[in-house]
A and B are shown apart, each in its own frame.
Chain A
Amino acid sequence: SYELTQPPSVSVSPGQTARITCSADALPKQYAYWYQQKPGQAPVLVIYKDSERPSGIPERFSGSSSGTTVTLTISGVQAEDEADYYCQSADSSGTVVFGGGTKLTVL
């Protein structure tokens, strides 16, 4: 199996751009997905297939992929974006893996 590596924390001031990375050797061959989880709530899908945004997710959320790293970018961060963010991937055997999570703090 493989692991998805995320930084434990990222801090940003309101209005700035937050970038959260997720790395694994498997990522060039697999899609990545991103979930936002606020305290006491279930995760919410914010990016799928590396860069697609589900309906209802604000345009300030975007995703990109380059080699073994995928990145979740939040442009013009708002206080309501403070949350834990998890990356996820899956291989063709059906095994699903989550990253360890990144706590986004809006200063």
Chain B
Amino acid sequence: QVQLQESGPGLVKPSETLSLTCTVSGYSISSGYYWGWIRQPPGKGLEWIGSIYHSGSTYYNPSLKSRVTISVDTSKNQFSLKLSSVTAADTAVYYCARGTSGWSGRYYYYYMDVWGKGTTVTVSS
């Protein structure tokens, strides 16, 4: 059974870099799938941050692209998120998730079928 677990500081100061790690168990990241990050500000909806393929190809939300880096460490079976120059608006629950992607006829598909439980990150001095 595939499980994902987020870890990292729960408090980050404004203007600093938020760093989170997602540890995957029950499946080898290097075997396939996409691995991504999604966040949810308090009382608000879901926002996709970005995804990385096991080979290292990355895809980012255009609105966050200038501040986001997602990387993968297959030796540790982990992938990570770095979000720079954070402000209070980056306060949220951050989720990691496995992405399933491909083509079905003429249609591209991408959905997230396994999620971590989420970790709360507060940006405050």
- Count residues on chain B whose CB falls below 8 Å from chain A CBs: 25
Chain B residues within CB distance 8 Å of chain A: 36, 38, 45-48, 51, 59, 61-62, 95, 100-101, 104, 107-113, 115-118
Task: Check B110 against A49 for contact (C-beta < 8 Å).
Answer: no
Which chain A residue shows the least CB distance to B115?
Answer: A42
**A42-B95, A97-B48, A98-B45 known; A92 vs B115 contact (CB < 8 Å):** no
A68 within 8 A of B: no
Contacts of B46 in A (CB 8 A): 35, 37, 43, 86, 88, 98, 101
Task: Check B118 against A96 for contact (C-beta < 8 Å).
Answer: no
Which chain B residue shows the least CB distance to A97?
Answer: B48
Q: Could you tell me the distance between the alpha carbons of A35 and B45 in the complex, rounded to whole angstroms?
A: 12
Which chain B residue shows the least CB distance to A44?
Answer: B115
- Complex interface bits, A7-47 against B, C-beta within 8 A gives 1, otherwise 0: 00000000000000000000001110101010001111100
Contacts of A98 in B (CB 8 A): 38, 45-48
Contacts of B59 in A (CB 8 A): 93-96
Question: Majority SS of interface residues in chain A?
Answer: loop
A68-103 residues at the B interface, CB under 8 angstroms: 86, 88, 90-101
Instruction: Out of B107, B115, B116, name the residue touching A29 (CB < 8 Å).
Output: B107
Please report the number of residue pairs spanning A and B whose Cβ atoms sit closer than 8 angstroms. 74
Q: Could you tell me the distance between the alpha carbons of A37 and B108 in the complex, rounded to whole angstroms?
A: 25
A69: shortest Cβ distance to chain B, in Å?
17
Contacts of B47 in A (CB 8 A): 98
27 inter-chain pairs at a CB distance below 8 angstroms, sorted by A residue, are A1-B62, A29-B107, A30-B107, A31-B104, A31-B109, A41-B117, A42-B95, A43-B46, A43-B112, A45-B113, A88-B111, A90-B108, A90-B110, A90-B111, A91-B108, A92-B108, A94-B59, A94-B101, A94-B110, A95-B48, A95-B61, A95-B62, A96-B48, A96-B59, A97-B48, A98-B47, A98-B48
**A49-B104, A97-B48 known; A43 vs B111 contact (CB < 8 Å):** no
